[in-house]
Structure 1
Amino acid sequence: MTGTDTDAPRDAGRRRALAGRGRAWGLSACGIVLAAPAALLVVRLTGLDAGTPLAMPMVLFPCSTVLAVLVLGVLVAVPALRSRWAVAVVAVLLVAHGALLAPRFIPEGRHVPAESVELRVATLNADAGGADPRALVELVRTERIDVLAVEQLPSGGVEALDKAGLDALMPYRELHPEYDSSIYSRRPLSHAGTTQVDTAWPQTTAEVAVGGRTVHFVAVHTYYPLGDVKRWTRDMAALTSMARRSSPDTVFLGDFNASLDHTPMRRLLAAGLTDTHAELGHGWARTWPVGHALVPPLIQLDHVLHGPGLVGVSVGEHTVPGTDHRAVVAVLALLPE
């Protein structure tokens, strides 16, 4: 037997061994990537994010679904990695994610009677007054905003907005820069003030008379989970308690520091509120962070929630220079009683 004949089986064996190791490494890498969506699915189903540090990674639940889709694509596209069991596991994971995420991408399609009175509302976290006042006033003007909630607006920011012309557009206001949220309005306000509930700081409230009805507004800014997750959870619980006592014509809008996948946010919605983005099928509205070269907006922390007396007509996000949050503008219609 020649040396060539002897070496051929050895070379074939080496190639099979290398292919086996490559397959093992490839499947292991896929498993590592899948650990994130699998872990977040468990947290999402069990509610373990409430009051725990797991609240921080929970905001990435939709992003983790994208990772699972990519892994499935790799398993299908690369012949060396194809495995019925691996594909089945990823498919089950994606079905579970899809079942949780799909409802927010399907418009509810609620009928809005032609005679319904509409309210145009907006919210913006001004990032400690960093938001460009002229840009915000222009947004109010072009979008014809009736009620504006502003969070993290210090006294200097209030003055800057008035110098930019907001006082002429929205002469009625309940300003509490010391408490972190304020309400501006084109229409007269009544019963304005602040809440006395267990939140890190009082939330600003006011009522607006529209079409013979009174709409109650709550300008929301909760504590943030990264700073104190238990404090944030208590803030959300206090808002939930308020929502249970609220009238059907109520709007909670602001920076909740929470996504639709957080357990405290889902409890708040279960108290009788509807997220306008999810209602209209805009399931992944990315409002934060803005203005970072390396990190695009990925997370929705800013919301317009409303009671059953109203229905969402439209909703969208707008970039205002100077703040790391995007403004949310929504049109709400009052349903006939």
Structure 2
Amino acid sequence: MRLSFCLYACLLLHCAITTAATPSVQTDDIARFWSTYDAVLAEPDGAQRVALVRQHYIEPGSAGLHALMKVRNYTAVEYADAMLAWPRFWASVRPLTANAQQASAMLERDLAAFRRLYPALRPASITYAVGVLRTGGTTLGNQVLIGAEMALGDASVDVSELPEPLRSRLRVFYDSTPGANNAQNNLHEYVHTQQRETTGSLAQYAVREGVAEYIAERISGRRPALPLYTYGPLHESDIRARFIVEMDGNDLDNWLYNSARNPFGVSDVGYYAGYRIAQEYMRQQPDEQAAIARMIELDYTDPATVRAFIEASGWLQQR
């Protein structure tokens, strides 16, 4: 009897460990979005369309959807308006959003690799929900929030109805086939759930993003197929020179979360600068695991700490 009890206890412990190690991926909001979308298109009354979004998509939605809406300030009115305004866009992206679970198939393996690199890894949930084109991935606390209409896209997505500069920015984005790079995107955002948030200078934001890019590439073996990674190596001295001038300021317009309408002619070059800083820092470290921990646990809220990290990388001094 004691042997049976011990065996039962061991099985319970194994199940608990397995459950804790298995990432939670929520995709139910996607199906709710499309059933709501069909109902909205069939409804002639504007107020009723908004009510349908609220009652059938938002209110029964997951905690992740509600977090996504909070972080990106989505509203029921905005959803209803976008559903009517961009029929070709929604028709083209609809079949791609069905790939959420398939796109996350390698997540358990990738997180196991992440945990080997960083044993202090904390669990986080992942939610795929449909937004209104303001993020392919973001976080709130221990929640990874993936905008399925962006993250699962490819070159077939029709952006012709979208206003500028959104249309041009998303044409470049979808042409990079983000859906094929979903493993890296999930990891990038998962890294953010382990980091401190930041507000402040370009340097603070760029390093935080660059560390997430570096670690996601280290685990997945991939980087986004975006122009910034083609442009960067060819213009690194120019990027570095401008970064040195602007890094302590709070203006991100030339560097992050932007369109190509900036001095570089390429969006999000700040990701490249931050990635190169992290890469050069890691080249000098004899203990990869300890260095990864230092990067993740860096106090991104402290400009002096971030500046010391940048200086330690040696990237600013390269010519």
Q: TM bucket by the smaller chain?
A: under 0.3
* Greater percentage in strand: 1
Per the normalisation by structure 2, the TM-score is: 0.27
* Greater percentage in helix: 2
Per the normalisation by structure 1, the TM-score is: 0.26
Q: Which of the pair has the greater relative contact order for Cα pairs under 8 Å at 6+ separation? A: 1
